[in-house]
Structure 1
Amino acid sequence: MSKTFTKTEVAAHKDEKEGMYIIIDDGVYDITGFLEEHPGGAKILKRMAGKDSTKQFWKYHSKAVLEKYGGKLKIGTVAEVAKL
């Protein structure tokens, strides 16, 4: 079962102790165990942890990358926030 996160909850996961999450489109991904596997290095992932990384992800990656790694890293989705 997929969990729903708020952006505030994702923002709390920005270090290895709390787990490192990023948002891509409406998906939430736990990248904590992927740091050393990332071809671009761990530094960029650590910088993006806890944030919406959609723009940066699509700038450097194709849909194939998300299809390859997304399944094992995706832990949920971002909840829609009502706009008043």
Structure 2
Amino acid sequence: MSKTFTTADVAAHNTVEKGLYITIDGSVYDVTKFVDEHPGGAKILKRVGGKDASKQFWKYHNESVLKKYGEKLKIGTVQAEAKL
């Protein structure tokens, strides 16, 4: 079951100790257990923890990476926030 997160919820999970969440194109991924397996190194994921990593992700990856890992790591989506 997919959960809906606010940007504040995602931002609160910005360390491995708190849980490391990132968003890519509105989907939320828990990369806490993947951080040590990441081929580019843990440092990169820790840098974008709690943030929208779409720009950085698409700069270095193609869609096949999301197909391979996405379903295993996806935990929900970011809710649309009202703009005032």
Q: The TM-score by the shorter chain falls in which range?
A: over 0.9
**Structure 1, unpaired ranges of 5+:** none
Instruction: Name the residue aligned to 1:6.
Output: 6
Count of aligned pairs: 84
Percent pairwise identity: 67
Partner AA of 2:68 in structure 1 = K
Instruction: Name the residue aligned to 1:67.
Output: 67
**Structure 2, unpaired ranges of 5+:** none
C-alpha distance in 2 between matches for 1:62 and 1:21 = 20
Q: Is 1:17 the counterpart of 2:9 in the alignment?
A: no
Task: Provide the secondary structure at the position in 1 that maps to 2:20.
Answer: strand
C-alpha distance in 1 between matches for 2:57 and 2:51 = 12
C-alpha distance in 2 between matches for 1:17 and 1:27 = 21
Partner AA of 2:70 in structure 1 = G
C-alpha distance in 1 between matches for 2:61 and 2:8 = 25
**How far off is 1:65 after superposition?**
0.3
C-alpha distance in 2 between matches for 1:65 and 1:16 = 22
Q: What TM-score, normalized by structure 1, do the two folds share? A: 0.97
Instruction: Give runs of ≥4 in structure 1 deviating > 4 Å.
Output: none
**How far off is 1:16 after superposition?**
1.4
Partner AA of 2:60 in structure 1 = Y
